[in-house]
Every structure is written in structure tokens, then in C-alpha cells.
Amino acid sequence: MIGKKRWLKRIIRNGRTLIMPVDHGVTKVEQGLENVDELIRTVEDYVDAVVLHKGLAKNSKILEEVEVGLIVHLSASTYLSRDPNDKRIISDIESALKLGADAVSVHVNIGSETEGRQLEELGKICDRGDEYGIPVLAMIYPRGKVEQNLETVKQAARVGYELGADIVKVPYVEKFSEVVRYCKVPVVIAGGSKGDEIELLRKVETAIKEGATGVAVGRNIFSNPSPRDIARALYSIIHEGMSAEEVIENERNLALGRWR
């Protein structure tokens, strides 16, 4: 599938990727997402792709100009729901293509009460992705009554691989090389909740060493006081092969960011 390979190169550059999801506003409005166009412009030199819902993509004034891959997210739920883990499909590949998408993404919560339907929807979207030659990013999390550990994350990655996803996003766990071992498509780790910058950089360095293709970092970029600085730091580890300690020292010397 030449078309799919060409699209993937917009997202995974030289075998590595830094993806910035900004689809969080549907789940719950968060600080840092007030002006997504301005945010993308701020980090465009360091981010390979962004994940947006269709409304943000449709109303963007800059997506046609920036050299950043566009992943249109097809899943949604809100924190106000009786079951926020019940992700629903709210768009389709045809609509994403009209918006100029380089890929689409689907969120699946394994272990949730609606796991079966979510898996069915992921499988069908992967089929449609193959039909149109557009990559599918599967964001798969152990949720609900199941614990997040090595075995459940490994299961999540394997599910995405076996159902036909082209990229799989899962939470980071220790011994991540075991997760990668069971998933023969690129695996990226989730950035997780907003946390300490230094811990994030060290986690990313370890994940890359253990075989991850890259990271999908949302809150830890857009909720950071300096999104450009943290994006540059992540880029340095992912694409330039620097260690977390080298990056931290560089940021200190530049007097940028908030490194301790």
C-alpha cells in the first residue's frame, strides 16, 4: 500500500515520532487548549503530528500551512457521562480524508464494560483504513475493572496489532520491551497526566531504548508554561538521540524552561 506508506512518513520520520494529541477538550475542557492554532504554531518545529477532533481541524486557519501531520480522532466521550470509558465513534474515514488527514485515530478501553463494541468498531475502521490506504492509530488503554500493568498493556498492544492498526499507542510500563516484542507495528507511549518534566524525559528515553517508536504527549506539552521548550526537549531525545540528562543540562544552560 504505497499511499499508506507515504502517509505514515508524514507521522513517523526516520523511524521515530513525536505526536501531540489535543483531542482532550471533548472529554474535559483543559487549560492550554484555548487556542489550538497558536499552540501548533508554537511547537511546529518539533512535533511530527497532531491529533485533533474534526471540528478543530475544520476550523483551523493554519493546518494547510504547517508541516505537521494531521491525525483526525474518531472517538469521543465526556467526563460527564455515566461511563466515560464508553468511547463512541463520532466520525468516519471519509470525513477525515476531506479534512486532509494523514491518518485517523480510535480510542479503545479494554476491560471496560463496552470493550466488545469498541473492538468491533476498531476492527471495521482498520478495514476501511486498508481500503482507503490511510493509516490507523489505535489508542488502547486497560481501563475499568482491570489493572494497568505489564500484562494488560502487552495485551492492549497486541489487540491493536491483531485488529489491523498501523500504529498503537499504550501507557508506559516497566519492561516495555516485552510490550514491543508482542506488537509488530510501531508502538508509541502515552504521555499521561500532567507531571514532572524531568521524570517525563527520563521515561521517554527509557521507552525509546526499549523499542518504542516514539511518544504521544498531550497535557505535558499543552499544559506546560512553555510548550515549545518541552517539545524541543522531547524532540532532542526522540529524533537526535540525546539522553534525558544531556537535554536537561542543555535547557539549564539556555535558561529556558523550568528544569531544576
Let me know if residue 260 belongs to a domain: no
The CATH number assigned to the domain holding 219 equals: 3.20.20.70
Domain span at residue 58 reads 2-254
Please indicate whether residue 23 is annotated as part of the active site.
Answer: yes
Let me know if residue 220 belongs to a domain: yes
Please indicate whether residue 92 is annotated as part of the active site.
Answer: no
Let me know if residue 246 belongs to a domain: yes
What is the rounded average pLDDT for all residues in the chain?
94
**Cα 57 from Cα 91, distance rounded (Å):** 13
- Which residue in the list 48, 87, 141, 235 is annotated as catalytic? 141
Count up the domains in the chain and report the number: 1
Let me know if residue 259 belongs to a domain: no
- Which residue in the list 23, 48, 166, 229 is annotated as catalytic? 23
Let me know if residue 154 belongs to a domain: yes
Q: For residue 252, name the pLDDT band (cuts at 50, 70, 90).
A: low
Let me know if residue 8 belongs to a domain: yes
State the pLDDT at residue 247. Answer: 93
Please indicate whether residue 141 is annotated as part of the active site.
Answer: yes
Let me know if residue 162 belongs to a domain: yes
- Which residue in the list 87, 154, 169, 203 is annotated as catalytic? 169
pLDDT digits (tens, 9 = 90+) for 148-169: 999 999 999 999 999 999 999 9
Let me know if residue 65 belongs to a domain: yes
State the pLDDT at residue 254. Answer: 54
Predicted TM-score (pTM) of the model is 0.94
pLDDT digits (tens, 9 = 90+) for 17-38: 999 999 999 999 999 999 999 9
